[in-house]
Amino acid sequence: MTVPTVGFIGLGAMGSRLAGRLLAAGYEVYGTNRTKAKAAQLLELGLIWRDSPREVAEAAEIVFSMVTDDDALVSVTSDDDGILAGLSHGKLYVDMSTVSPQTSRELAVRVHAVGAEMLEAPVSGSVPAAEAGALSIMVGGSAQSFTRAEPILRALGSSVTRIGGNGSALLMKLAVNISLAEQMLAFSEGVLLAEQGGIERSLAVSVLVDSAVGSPMLKSRGPLLLDLPEDAWFDVALMRKDLRLALRAAGSFDLPLPSAAVANEVYTAAGAMGYEHRDIAVVYEVLAEMAGQ
């Protein structure tokens, strides 16, 4: 079986780890990023640099992208130097960004118009999970395209699931992330309550993560309340974006999401307090500041 050449556009905190795993798995990887300096380590590992998303799409059979939001996705896909300009008949484009389901569906129509196919493949998991190949990957698009991309995706994630057609995986990802936001908020409230009652924070964290509420996410992220990293695993700005997308999607169904709405208020406050680019575990500090601690 011939191993396809792969392209990767967007080599930030997550994208760089995913491209690195593809290189380690033996794929020939072409890549580009807005800032070339961020690709320095990948270039040493064998990444083949191209100067634009179009050039990456022209060079690779299967093209991946991971960018921050809808605007960034439009930027890397459109215009003369965008991904769409480099796609052609028979190529497959896999976007791993978390964007609006509607934006992704509209982009899929444009991809099909040039003879290529498109999957969306948003991920659930942190930077350490990306490094370890332990992400959960949700996929939207045709079954045929999924079969073609699945071996590559399994080099990146421990769980790879096709949800349905274009747009479905992004809706599923938003469903995951509202729970992530709410769990982090509820956990922080519990720790703060215990601490205010005289229980050491480290003990409160330990008991909570080992209790019935100790989900895998809280087991990995709970200790960050004791030692918040400078480099975020998943920052407040990204969570605010995902909460807005989820609330917008819910509005289209006339569906109330009261807990997500409250979480959105708290993460918005976190951004206003200067924590925009800190890990979402900073919500504990936000609550403490609100309490005057």
pLDDT tens by residue, the chain, 293 residues:
578 999 999 999 899 999 999 999 999 999 999 889 889 999 999 999 999 999 999 999 999 999 999 999 999 999 999 999 999 999 999 999 999 999 999 999 999 999 999 999 999 988 889 999 999 999 999 999 999 999 999 999 999 999 999 999 999 999 999 999 999 999 999 999 999 999 999 999 999 999 999 999 999 999 999 999 999 999 999 999 999 999 999 999 999 999 999 999 999 999 999 999 999 999 999 999 998 87
Is the CB of residue 238 less than 8 Å from the CB of residue 68? yes
Model confidence over 88-113: pLDDT tens digits?
A: 999 999 999 999 999 999 999 999 99
What's phi and psi for 98, nearest 5 deg?
Answer: -100, 105
Residue 196: other Cβ atoms inside 10 A? 11
CA distance linking residue 63 with residue 80, whole number of Å: 17
Mean of pLDDT over the chain: 95
Amino acid identity of 134?
A: A
Q: Of 293, 100, 80, 61, which Cα lies nearest the Cα of 188?
A: 293
**Residue 60 amino acid letter:** A
**38 included as an active-site residue:** no
Non-local CB neighbours of 250 within 8 Å, separated by 6+ positions: 256, 257, 260
User: Which residue ranges form the domains of the chain, and what is each CATH number?
Assistant: 6-165 (3.40.50.720), 171-290 (1.10.1040.10)
The per-residue pLDDT for 263 is 97
Q: Which pair of tokens denotes residue 181?
A: 């936001």
Identify the active-site residue in 38, 91, 173, 241.
Answer: 173
* pLDDT at 1 (0 to 100): 58
CA atoms of 120 and 161, how far apart (whole Å): 11
CB 264 within 8 A of CB 244: yes
